[in-house]
Amino acid sequence: MLAAAGLGLGTCWIGYTQRYLETAAGRALVGLPDDVLPVAPIVVGHPNVMPGPTDRREPVIRWLG
C-alpha cells in the first residue's frame, strides 16, 4: 500500500472480502485456484483527491521492570 501511494495510487484494504474469497463463488469470480489462500484483499485505483497525512498522538511509553 505504501508503494502504491508512492506512485500516486490510492488503496483500501477490504477485509470483509477475504471471507468471500474463501468461498467457491468468490474464488470462481476472480479465478483463484484452490491452492491460493487470500490474505489481504486490497483495492487499488486512481483517487480523485490524495488525502494528506493524519494527525498522530504522541505515544505513551510505560517502562516495566
Using 50, 70 and 90 to split pLDDT, how confident is the model at 51? confident
Answer whether residue 13 is part of any domain.
yes
In a domain, 33, yes or no: yes
Tally of structural domains, the chain: 1
| 57 occurs within a structural domain | no
In a domain, 64, yes or no: no
In a 13 Å sphere around the CA of 33, the CA atoms on its Cβ side amount to 2
In a domain, 35, yes or no: yes
Q: What integer pLDDT is reported at residue 16 of this predicted model?
A: 86
Q: What pLDDT does residue 53 have?
A: 83
C-alpha cell at 44: 487499488
2 pLDDT tier (thresholds 50, 70, 90): very high
- 6 part of a folded domain: yes
Does residue 32 fall inside a structural domain?
Answer: yes
pLDDT digits (tens, 9 = 90+) for 14-31: 988 888 998 999 999 999
Residue 10 belongs to domain spanning: 2-45
**Cβ-defined contacts of 24-33 (< 8 Å, 24+):** none
Main-chain dihedrals φ then ψ at residue 40, nearest 5 degrees: -145, 85
